[in-house]
């Protein structure tokens, strides 16, 4: 006796003894060989279903779409993750004797379904709803991020991207997705159009997805700053990001009742050398504030190390003169301005208990 399968729209033998009825959506239409076996479908029967004109199709090695028509973008995404996330024993063609536990009793997929794999690159940015990224249906291939040690090759709709250390994935409608900064770096790595690169980087900052310094840090680790289209975009990104951060800094001082400071000044010893510029200075309390817009630490780069050393030397020099230096990051200003205002207010109040600072000349910067 035959049954009409809701999965493929064809009259086919039922998937007994296990039924796929408890699964829903894309997880019912795209399954790996091991998942099919867990549902009682032998490899021989799977091959028969995928013959020319058959109701199923093999989309990627060991991953099958259970209908004959073109796969949807969601199905391609799911298939790429299943392909990259399969255990090594599956990839070697050795199906485990015991059923895998990719599916919970209620049919929902647990975290092991995709292993440690996550979507990255343009596909990830499409899932984050970047307007500058193409729609998911137009992204081909789909980039999937895997550990460096995984022995996989890019094929079909799945392009393998390797990571020395995997970031923590974000979940978007049940799909593991690389953080925005990592997805940006992986997208930029394969883009040649400077306009597209600039649009993506700008949207990441203007849309509040991440701070410029975080993006630049990821681009540094990916060794992409030497590319002209990236370098030009980064210069604009940092300038715009700093302007946004300065606006938040003005708002923090105004909205949280901090004393009026001097803005964007240079400090010098009287008749002596310049001590460096600071973003905000309270001369009576000898408290300086700097926006720390440097990329976060990562893979050592000579220019970055020089920049960090210069920051450290300036701070040490000012503090030896009795000037308190407060560093605020754009991210903290955006996420917790009230908390950062408290940090600054505490430094101002502590001035009364400190020894008087050295006299410095304050000049416009």
211 and 153 in contact (C-beta within 8 Å)?
no
Q: What backbone torsions phi and psi does residue 196 show, to the nearest 5 degrees?
A: -70, -45
Of 143, 252, 136, 158, the C-alpha closest to 188 is 143
pLDDT of residue 238: 83
Per mean pLDDT, which of 119-133, 235-249, 325-339 is the most reliable?
119-133
Where do the H-state alpha helices sit in the chain? 26-29, 33-38, 43-49, 73-85, 88-91, 121-127, 180-188, 194-206, 212-221, 228-255, 302-320, 330-335, 337-350
- In the predicted model, what is the mean pLDDT of residues 230-252? 88
Cβ(281)–Cβ(288) below 8 Å: yes
Q: Torsions phi, psi of 31, nearest 5?
A: -135, 150
What pLDDT was estimated at residue 150? 86
pLDDT band at 297 (very low <50, low <70, confident <90, very high): low
pLDDT value for 295? 67
Confidence of residue 122 (pLDDT cuts 50, 70, 90): very high
pLDDT at 303: 47
**If we measure between CA atoms, which residue out of 217, 237, 347, 352 comes closest to residue 290?**
347
What average pLDDT score do residues 150-178 get? 93
Kind plus residue range of the DSSP H or E element containing 277: strand 274-282
Question: What is the pTM assigned to this prediction?
Answer: 0.71
User: Residue 100's pLDDT is what?
Assistant: 43
Q: Which stretch of 103-117, 198-212, 349-363 has the lowest confidence by average pLDDT?
A: 103-117
pLDDT at 296: 60
pLDDT of residue 6: 32
User: Could you tell me the pLDDT band of residue 17, with boundaries at 50, 70 and 90?
Assistant: very low
The pLDDT, as a whole number, for residue 233 is 87
Confidence of residue 203 (pLDDT cuts 50, 70, 90): very high
**Hey, which residues does 63 pair with through a beta bridge?**
32, 60
Q: How far apart are the first and last CA of the chain?
A: 85
């Amino acid at each position: 006796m035959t049954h009409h399968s809701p999965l493929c729209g064809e009259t086919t033998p039922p998937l007994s003894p296990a039924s796929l009825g408890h699964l829903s959506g894309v997880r019912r239409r795209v399954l790996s060989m091991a998942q099919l076996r867990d549902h009682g479908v032998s490899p021989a029967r799977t091959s028969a279903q995928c013959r020319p004109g058959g109701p199923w199709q093999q989309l990627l090695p060991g991953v099958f779409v259970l209908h004959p028509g073109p796969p949807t973008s969601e199905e391609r995404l799911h298939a790429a993750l299943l392909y990259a996330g399969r255990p090594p024993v599956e990839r070697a063609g050795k199906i485990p004797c015991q059923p895998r536990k990719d599916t919970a009793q209620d049919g929902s997929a647990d975290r092991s379904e995709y292993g440690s794999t996550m979507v990255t690159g343009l596909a990830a940015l499409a899932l984050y709803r970047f307007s500058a990224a193409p729609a998911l249906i137009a992204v081909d291939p789909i980039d999937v991020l895997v550990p460096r040690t995984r022995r996989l090759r890019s094929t079909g709709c799945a392009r393998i991207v390797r990571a020395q250390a995997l970031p923590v994935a974000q979940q978007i409608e049940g799909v593991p997705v690389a953080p925005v900064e990592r997805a940006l770096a992986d997208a930029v790595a394969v883009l040649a159009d400077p306009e597209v690169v600039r649009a993506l980087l700008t949207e990441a900052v203007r849309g509040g997805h991440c701070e410029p310094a975080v993006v630049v840090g990821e681009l540094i680790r990916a060794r992409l700053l030497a590319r002209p289209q990236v370098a030009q975009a980064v210069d604009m990104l940092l300038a715009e990001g700093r302007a946004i951060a300065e606006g938040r800094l003005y708002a923090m001082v105004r909205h949280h009742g901090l004393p009026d400071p001097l803005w964007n000044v240079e400090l010098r010893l009287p008749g002596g050398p310049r001590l460096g510029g600071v973003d905000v200075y309270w001369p009576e309390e000898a408290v300086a504030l700097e926006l720390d817009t440097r990329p976060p630490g990562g893979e050592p780069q000579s220019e970055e190390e020089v920049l960090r050393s210069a920051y450290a030397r300036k701070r040490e020099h000012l503090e030896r003169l009795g000037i308190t230096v407060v560093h605020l990051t754009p991210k903290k200003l955006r996420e917790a301005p009230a908390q950062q205002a408290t940090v600054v207010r505490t430094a101002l109040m502590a001035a009364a208990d400190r020894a008087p600072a050295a006299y410095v000349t304050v000049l416009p910067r």
